[in-house]
Amino acid sequence: MKKKLSKIISAAVAVVLTASISLAVIQAAYSSKISDSKTYTFDIGGLTGDKTTALLSENPDRGLRMEAYLDVATGLSLFEHAEEDAFQQLQDEIDKYKSDSPTLVQVYFYLTGYKDKELDQTAFDNMNRYFDMLEENNLKAVLRFAYIWDDTNPTAQEPKDDMVVRHWEQLSSFITERRDQISVLQAGCVGAWGEWDSGAMSRVDDKKILDAIMNNTPEDMYVQVRYSYIKTDNFSKDDPNYNRIGFHDDFLIGNLHGWNTAGSDPTSDRYKQMTEESRYVPVDGEMIWGSANDYYKGEIGGDYISSIKMAQRMAEHHFTSLSLTHNYKEKDGYYSMEYWKTEYVNQKILDDSNLPYQESWFLDENGNNLPKTMFDYIKDYLGYYLSAESAEAVVDGNKVTATVALKNYGFAAPLTLDKIELVLLDADGNAVSRSEFCSLDELQSGAAVEKTIELQRPENGRGYRLALRISSRNGDTARLANDIEYTDGYNILGDLI
């Protein structure tokens, strides 16, 4: 009996051992189909013009932007919306421009009710509620604080400089907390609508107020000023804050005008200064109200503002954003931007006008030419317009050496984004290796940046994906203008399989 049992046990053990060995043999015999030593060259085409506006308009921190107002003391809006709840006005603005898919809104926070006193909890509650609403709608702010909304009686609403300074001290933590929702800050505070008119400037200590702004805002936050001399008169070039200061031009009419940020003389030093500096600091702008077109007809040179001249100015001075609210369809009017929607151009016209574009932007999915409107052109090329021109990866064991060229066809470098990274993803879409691709200011308008970067491949014989991730501070990502897969915020350059 004992002998029989031991024989049975031995046989069972033998079976198990044989099975295990067989499985091990089978598994040992299996080798991965994915090479550990290979060069991949990826075919990356440009996005065609029949898709760009739909697929790129949600790219963050650039483009056409809305405008909204909050009286922080009352929670009401201002101007023609003065009787309205500011939050409703914001919602109305969002609804009105929904088809244009803006991701930015210029937000005026009027501190008029606090011109003689410190900000209180009501003010912060209203501001926080406003930013919560921006977040819910995936919008970021081009933020401006102001006091004076009544330009017929400005001194009645004008605070003392010390009060302005105190307000900035109070706002500091709010701005820091909301940092990721603020694309750019505008200096504001001085003059009607915070636009630093000469009369108001004569009554304030510019430097005191500007220092208060710079000292109470994060060091990596850009601050835009209305006129170029505001920057140069108050900051020397070796001031650490000098390179934080950008511009906003609130009198765009196509033709140059004395009320432009750098004046109307393109041969002047200040104009040249803006041309050069706007490469490295963000620029925002707005046209005049459409209802004023008739009044400024002579200056404009016609019934509406020239789209080509606007594009040329914005390309020259590297504009990142432009108001949608001005000279488009405000108060149910039909103004310049509506006209631009009817102006069809082709490559020849843009070439003759020295305006940049990506070749595929003028093609459709069949490879045929596709005339496009000047509205679409300005909408797509404001700020950054990034395209991968080439991508190659050399796999050698656990090392992946990727060479990628990225080009910016847009008007401006992506200065208000957070970072651009080259990433290796596993098959489940998890990032397993990443490296900064380039600094944001390297991607100047018209520049192509090629980098060779080493990433680590965790496991041999496995499949990975090479991707570019272009991130905003709040986690939003941007899509490249390429006919490639865009998944979970990753622009997939190619698969290492």
Partner 1 sequence: MKAFKTSKRFFSVIIAAMLILSSFQAFAAVPEEERKPLNIPEITLENLQVRGGSPTYLVDNPPYSETPPTMKDFDFGPGSDNMQNSYIVYNYGNEVMIESLTLIGWWPKDQAVKNISLEYFSDGQWVMSQENIEVPWKTTGGTEEQVDIVLSQPVQTMKFRIKINSAYHSWSDKICMHLMRPNGYIVTEFKPLTDAIAQAEKLISQVLIGDKGGEFSQESVDNLNEIISQINSDLNEGLVTSDNIPDLINKIEAAIEEFTASQNPMENAPKAEIENLSVSLGNTEYLTDRQISTGITVSVADSESPAYLTLDFSGKNLKATGITLLASASEGFTLNAKAEAEIDGVWTEISPETELNYRCDVQGTEGHKITFDSCNASKFRIKINSSTAESFTIYEILYDGTYATDMSALYSLIEKGTAVAENSDSANYPDLLDILKISLTKAQNGEVSAYSTQEKIDSIYQLLLNAVEAFNNLIGYQKGDVDHSGSVNILDATLIQRYLVHLLPSEQIFDNKLADMNDDGKISIFDATRIQVMLAK
Buried b (16+ CB within 10 A) or exposed e, 417-434: bbbbbbbbbbeeeeebbb
- 153, 368, 430, 439: which one binds partner 1 (CB under 8 A): 368
Site for partner 1 in 474-493 (CB under 8 A): 485-487
Sequence-ordered list of residues with C-beta below 8 angstroms from that of 358, at least 6 positions apart, any chain = 46, 47, 385, 387, 409, 481
CA-CA distances (angstroms) from residue 303 to 219, 310, 348?
Answer: 43, 15, 25
Structure tokens at 317: 């001075």
Let me know if 48 is exposed, middle or buried by CB neighbors in 10 A (0-12, 13-18, 19+).
buried
Q: How far is the CB of 134 from partner 1 (least distance, A)?
A: 25
User: What is the C-alpha separation between 442 and 274, in angstroms, rounded?
Assistant: 18
- 172, 243, 373, 474: which one binds partner 1 (CB under 8 A): 373
Structure tokens at 288: 């005049």
**Using the rule CB under 8 A, is 348 a contact of partner 1?**
yes
**Using the rule CB under 8 A, is 370 a contact of partner 1?**
yes
Structure tokens at 411: 């008007």
Q: How far is the CB of 78 from partner 1 (least distance, A)?
A: 32
Site for partner 1 in 425-444 (CB under 8 A): 426-429
CA-CA distances (angstroms) from residue 197 to 70, 210, 227, 235?
Answer: 22, 15, 9, 19
**Using the rule CB under 8 A, is 36 a contact of partner 1?**
no
**Using the rule CB under 8 A, is 43 a contact of partner 1?**
no
Site for partner 1 in 234-273 (CB under 8 A): 255
Identify which of residues 125 and 459 has a Cβ nearer to partner 1 in the complex. Answer: 459
Q: How far is the CB of 146 from partner 1 (least distance, A)?
A: 32
**Using the rule CB under 8 A, is 24 a contact of partner 1?**
no
Query: What is the total residue count of the chain?
Result: 497
**Using the rule CB under 8 A, is 202 a contact of partner 1?**
no
| Sheet strand arrangement including 37-42 | 37-42, 386-396, 399-408, 448-456
Site for partner 1 in 282-321 (CB under 8 A): 297-299, 301-302, 306, 308
Identify which of residues 385 and 464 has a Cβ nearer to partner 1 in the complex. Answer: 464
Provide the binding-site residues for partner 1, judged by CB under 8 A: 27, 30, 32-34, 50-51, 54-55, 255, 297-299, 301-302, 306, 308, 339, 342-349, 365-371, 373-374, 426-429, 461-465, 485-487, 495, 497
